[in-house]
Amino acid sequence: MAVFISGFALTYVVRSEGRVDAIMVEDAKAGATILKPAGALPWGGYGGSFADPDGHSQRARGRTSPTPSSRGSGARRPGSGSVMDEER
């Protein structure tokens, strides 16, 4: 089954595959529809997609191994001000 996400999707980038799995379980219990179960991604990494009860598309993505940007309390891309590694 092909999964199409229109518009934009919020993406949670977390530190581990286990946290991706936990997010997917938590959101399914809260009424989200799983669009793509969590698993290995063809380009590397790990993730899955779901739609919240209002139909907004969201993704959870995790790294398969630690990187320098995944250490600490939340790495920020220089100059962007956006958190790249946010725990929910």
Percent of the chain with pLDDT over 70: 65
Is residue 82 predicted with pLDDT exceeding 90? no
d(CA 63, CA 17): 7
d(CA 60, CA 77): 19
Question: Over the chain, what is the mean pLDDT?
Answer: 77
Is residue 70 predicted with pLDDT exceeding 60? no
Question: What pLDDT digit, counting tens, does each position of 25-57 carry?
Answer: 999 999 999 999 999 999 889 999 999 888 889
pLDDT at 56: 87
pLDDT at 34: 96
pLDDT at 72: 46
Task: Give start and end residues of each alpha helix (H) in the chain.
Answer: 17-29
* Domains parsed from the chain with CATH numbers: 1-88 (3.10.180.10)
Percent of the chain with pLDDT over 90: 48
Integer distance in angstroms from the first to the last C-alpha of the chain? Answer: 29
